[in-house]
Amino acid sequence: MTSTSSTTRKKVSGSSKRAWKPRKQQLAGAKFILSQACGVLWADLGVGKTSLTLKAVDCLLKAGQVHRVLVVAPLRPAQLVWPAEKDKWDDFRHMDVALLHGPKKDAVLAERHAIDIINPEGIEWLFRIKEVRKLVKVRDKATGLVIEKMKTFLKHDLKWARSLGYDMLVVDEIPMYKSATSRRFKALKPLLAIFSRRYGLTGTPATNGLMDLFGQVYVVDQGRTFGQFITGYRREYFTSTGYGGYTYELQPDGEKRIYKALKPIVKRLDNAEYLRELPELIDNRLDIDMPPKARQIYREMEKTFFTAIDERAFVAANAAVASGKCRQIASGALYQQFEEGQVKKKRSEAWTEIHTEKVAALEEVVESLQGKPLLIAYEFGHELERLRKAFGKDLPVIAGGTTFKQAKAIESAWNRGELPLLAGQPQAMGHGLNMQEACCHIAWFTLPWDLAMYDQLIGRVRRQGNPHKRIFNHLVIAKGTIEEAVLEALGLKGTVQQRLLAALTSYRRKLKAA
């Protein structure tokens, strides 16, 4: 994704007055930030965490308690959400905000704005972090001998970092730092001391389990809650299990003790008040029957993880891969597996179509809507190709390769009611887009396992300002397939892994009963 850096204007002329009128939860969130030097806001989708944070930042700047603020956010929210939210409300239009991204970012940085917004990948550029290689002594696990090994380290220029004058850090979508071994965590960790105030924002703190919390909390409190190292966190709250002891399960009272430890630095903002203002979400399940040949292929893949289609081999090496392949077959196509060194001649040869039942179901939905806007969520690349074959090669799409400018143009056209049909990948649409002004219909080509991803895409449409009383959520499901397990998993509480295992167990039990 590419974009040019831009500096927001301090005054916006010719615009209508729109005062920010905070709801109860927004006031509570702003007061939480003002009342303590570090903390995490677990704010449900729709609470309005960006605007409440802007309010708190504005108060702190005016009071002289902070002088310069760094906001770290995923690229799309950094480009779309934060600048737009600042300009949306008259209360914040005076704030001096700049985006550090693109070829002009050095010039923008030199202007020394009060609030800079940057994506995580820009941290190394901003703080002049360099990669160095050193020869270190380590103990070989196989032999137990001490050997020399070349390792890569990140070198920080802390003198330069302090000279930038940042004294407040806000990390939007702080689960980006859930892994304490990731490069982005290691880049930020030594810099935390320069910020006198540090805050994290998210609506999905632990979609993959409570192990994800260590890195996020460390960014905020530098280890005061869970200690300096994740090994200590594991020992305190988890038990190692599985082969080699590399799988961790919560201790019987681990979850309760974790939440107790978090209580001083975490503020939970639920969206109960917000949900009362939203259109009703109505699920419309559309079951499809796969043709006999497709059903046979599916059963072979599900049972033995191997099948041959038109003399092409499709092999699932493990259960996770098989799950993806089963979902592809249920969708109606399957990626071809190429031998090492074999070159794909054409993109269309990279997958084989197995059935067209889902596309036909979506065509029926489109026809029934008679031009009303429909957002089609898809997961696999071959699904987009098949959608464009059915609805035209110019079908607009928001996916991983969509640039900031393209996404903004599509968002604007969609909200003006100019696009009767739009395809989108949940991974690319989960943050930073407001699509509520024209849409009351969503259709799922293939459902994701990830509940957060599912909720976030729906949240692009089911937002404040949607003029419709109801939003229809069309779920195209291949009967008797793993998709039924996915649908059940999305309705269960717990982590992705827990929901996956529970749903698969239930699905297998139904198969045996049949």
**Which span out of 203-217, 259-273, 285-299, 458-472 was modeled with the highest average pLDDT?**
285-299
Residue 416, token pair as written in the block: 């003006």
How confident is the model over 337-387, as pLDDT tens digits? 644 444 444 444 589 999 999 999 999 999 989 888 999 999 999 999 999
Q: What is the mean pLDDT of residues 148-167?
A: 93
Domain at 472, CATH number:
3.40.50.300
Q: Are the C-beta atoms of 445 and 475 separated by less than 8 Å?
A: no
Report residue 503 as tokens: 């749903």
Q: Number of structural domains, the chain?
A: 3
Domain assignment present for residue 217? The answer is yes
Domain end position, chosen among 273, 306, 321: 273
Residue 42 burial by CB count (10 A; 0-12/13-18/19+): exposed, middle or buried?
Answer: buried
Q: Is the pLDDT of residue 165 over 60?
A: yes
Mean pLDDT of 406-428: 91
* Distances in whole angstroms, Cα of residue 126 to Cα of each of 109, 129, 165, 219, 390: 9, 8, 12, 18, 46
Return the C-alpha torsion angle 404, 405, 411, 416, nearest 10. 170
Q: What is the pLDDT of residues 248-275, one digit of tens each?
A: 888 999 988 998 999 999 998 877 665 6
Asked if pLDDT for residue 439 goes beyond 70, the answer is yes
Q: What is the pLDDT of residue 213?
A: 94
Does an H or E element contain 319, and which? helix 319-331
How far apart are alpha carbons 204 and 218 in whole angstroms? 17
Across the chain, what does the average pLDDT equal?
85
Do 135 and 192 lie in a common domain?
no
Last residue of a domain, one of 241, 273, 305: 273
Domain identity same for 151 and 283? no
The structure tokens 């699932």 sit at 316
Asked if residue 11 belongs to a domain, the reply is no
**Confidence band (pLDDT; 50, 70, 90) for 512?**
low
CA–CA dist 468, 439 (Å, integer): 8
**Does one domain contain both 385 and 440?**
yes
Q: Is the pLDDT of residue 191 over 70?
A: yes
Statement to judge: residues 104 and 138 lie in one domain: no
Output the pTM of the full model.
0.70
* pLDDT tens profile 270-329: 776 656 677 888 999 999 999 999 999 999 888 766 665 555 556 655 666 778 889 999
Which pLDDT score, from 0 to 100, does residue 391 have? 95
In a domain, 479, yes or no: yes
Residue 364 lies in domain: 278-290+356-513
Residues 81 and 120 in one domain: yes
Would you state the structure tokens that stand for residue 57, as one six-digit string? Answer: 């930042």
Same structural domain for residues 440 and 489?
Answer: yes
| Shared-domain flag, residues 368 and 500 | yes
Domain identity same for 403 and 485 = yes
> Which of 152-161, 167-176, 333-342, 389-398 bottoms out in mean pLDDT, i.e. has the lowest?
333-342
